[in-house]
Structure 1
Amino acid sequence: MGYPLRLVRGPLIHPVTARLSNPLARRLVEGVQTHGSAGHGAHEYYVAQDLRRVATLSGSWEGEPIGVLAPVTPAPQFGFSSTPQIPSLTRVTTFIDRPGA
């Protein structure tokens, strides 16, 4: 699933890679973008280096079972990017460019 992302290493982990890969990322994973506004004039960039499907998971929260894995729908609304619909684990590097910093 994430094999091509595992080729992203060394100097490729850079904000320019995030900008250049955005059109492809948007086509491959609905709702995903690799750069956007972080608010207050800052910009945020994501460079993914791996994506693996999560097949099983168990756990509890305050003594209650967390339930079974299910598709991530509706998509979370936590900014300009999103998450794959299939439960997944992503290794990602984030860059934040703050003006004047």
Structure 2
Amino acid sequence: MATPPRPRRPTRDLRFAGRIAGFGTTSGTRVVLGLWESSPFGRFADAMIEDARGHRILFAPTDEVAAFIAATYAFDEVRVLPVTRRRIEGGLALDATALSVRLRVGPVSPLGRVLRSVPPRLATHPAWLRLIDPVARTFQPGVHTAGSAGGGRREFYGVTVARTIVWAEARLDGTDLGAFAPLDPPVRFGFASAPRQPHLVDVVTTIREPV
């Protein structure tokens, strides 16, 4: 007698809509910024840093946000402190007491023009992102659109617009992190990295978690 299939565990989808910026520096440090306009935690910004030794730091604005992100990704250090972002001429700035980032944004990239050809509703749907993940990781090493996250979660990255970052600078604990450079090697916070070529992307991140 055939064994009946196990019932699927119920899940819920948590949706984060905003922008992600990623770039590297000549010191070997890589910087990834999350600039969220809407989320289960409201509007907020966060920063993830990995240095040349592989030490990973999360900067988050509240204990609640820090706990959720740290349960989804992997860090060696978590700092909870005010994280503010603002527009500056030609780009944006982020400050988190010990961390200061400035970046200048260029035009929509060739990747961005390809992404624009996909209707946003499709481009951010988990089923589509699961389907195209093999293509994404082939053309952009380290990049994934779907994968496993911490706490039994699944995660989906749906990018709708991609612009190049043409310049950036960052200081951490009073130290200049070096000149602007590609994001290389890929970061190791989770299953996916930002692209090697520095980008600012409009993204909807869906986190599917068991309930």
TM range (shorter): 0.7 to 0.9
Quote the residue 1:68 is aligned against. Answer: 179
Matched, 1:8 2:118: yes
Quote the residue 2:210 is aligned against. Answer: 99
State the Cα distance separating 1:57 from its structure 2 match.
3.2
Q: Which amino acid aligns with 1:28?
A: F
Return 5+ residue gaps in structure 2 as ranges.
1-109
Query: How many angstroms apart in 1 are the aligned matches of 2:165 and 2:127?
Result: 29
Give the alignment's TM-score, normalised by structure 2: 0.42
Number of residue pairs matched by the alignment: 100
2:145, 2:157 within 8 Å by CA — same for their partners in 1?
A: yes
SS in structure 1 at match of 2:135: helix
Query: How many angstroms apart in 2 are the aligned matches of 1:99 and 1:65?
Result: 41
Q: Which amino acid aligns with 2:128?
A: T
Say what the alpha-carbon RMSD is for the aligned residues: 2.0
SS in structure 2 at match of 1:26: helix
Q: For each residue in 1:52-89, what CA deviation from the matched residue of structure 2 results, as whole angstroms up to 9, or x when unmatched?
A: 22112356667765543111122211110012112111
Does 6-15 or 75-84 show the bigger shift? 6-15
Show structure 1 runs of 4+ deviating over 2 A.
7-11, 56-68
The sequence identity of aligned pairs, in percent, is 39
2:153, 2:209 within 8 Å by CA — same for their partners in 1?
A: yes
Return 5+ residue gaps in structure 1 as ranges.
none
SS in structure 2 at match of 1:40: helix
Answer 1 or 2: higher relative contact order, Cα 8 Å, separation at least 6: 1
State the Cα distance separating 1:8 from its structure 2 match.
2.9
Q: Paired residue for 2:132, among 10, 21, 38?
A: 21
Q: Which has the higher strand share?
A: 2
